[in-house]
Amino acid sequence: MSIDISQLSAAELDELIVRAAARRATLEPAQSAQPPEKAEAIVNPAWHTSPLPNGVLFMLRHPGLGWLPFILPHEHRVHLTSLWLHQSLLFKPVEVAAEPATPAAITPNFGTGGSGTVH
């Protein structure tokens, strides 16, 4: 199948992406519950968080998909806080000459320092 998207505006592409994602969510096989072994990662994305009565709104900005909102229950917020603190205390950051402006291919470090837990 070939779909020509070259003439679509940003607004039309946004609508197509939203509709395609909603359709994909209804199809089998479902997306894997486990993260992939390799992924294209956005370096230092913009993010936003705000409290909710029973958890927290957590949003990450993807340059192509826009703001991706997630609502996490309170216990997951606490778990993430402890995981990120644990990782910060155990690992030293790798020296980076400059942050790339494009997505970076990464291999997640699953199972190290409490990371890799899927909820």
Is the pLDDT at 118 greater than 80? The verdict is no
CB 116 within 8 A of CB 108: yes
CA dist 58 and 55 (Å) reads: 10
| Percent of the chain's residues with pLDDT above 90 | 70
> Does residue 5 form part of some domain?
no
> Does residue 90 form part of some domain?
yes
What pTM, to 2 d.p., does this model score? 0.71
For residue 114, the model assigns a pLDDT of: 43
Residue range of the domain that includes 79: 35-95+102-106
Mean pLDDT across the stretch 47-56?
93
For residue 92, the model assigns a pLDDT of: 76
Is the pLDDT at 108 greater than 80? The verdict is no
> Does residue 3 form part of some domain?
no
Domain count, the chain: 1
> Does residue 48 form part of some domain?
yes
Q: What is the pLDDT of residues 15-40, one digit of tens each?
A: 999 999 999 999 999 999 999 999 99
For residue 95, the model assigns a pLDDT of: 72
> Does residue 39 form part of some domain?
yes
The secondary structure element, H or E, covering residue 74 is helix 74-90
> Does residue 29 form part of some domain?
no
> Does residue 68 form part of some domain?
yes
From edge to edge, which strands make up the β-sheet containing 66-73? 47-52, 55-62, 66-73
Is the pLDDT at 112 greater than 60? The verdict is no
> Does residue 114 form part of some domain?
no
For residue 1, the model assigns a pLDDT of: 85
Q: What is the pLDDT of residues 52-93, one digit of tens each?
A: 999 999 999 999 999 999 999 999 999 999 999 999 899 877
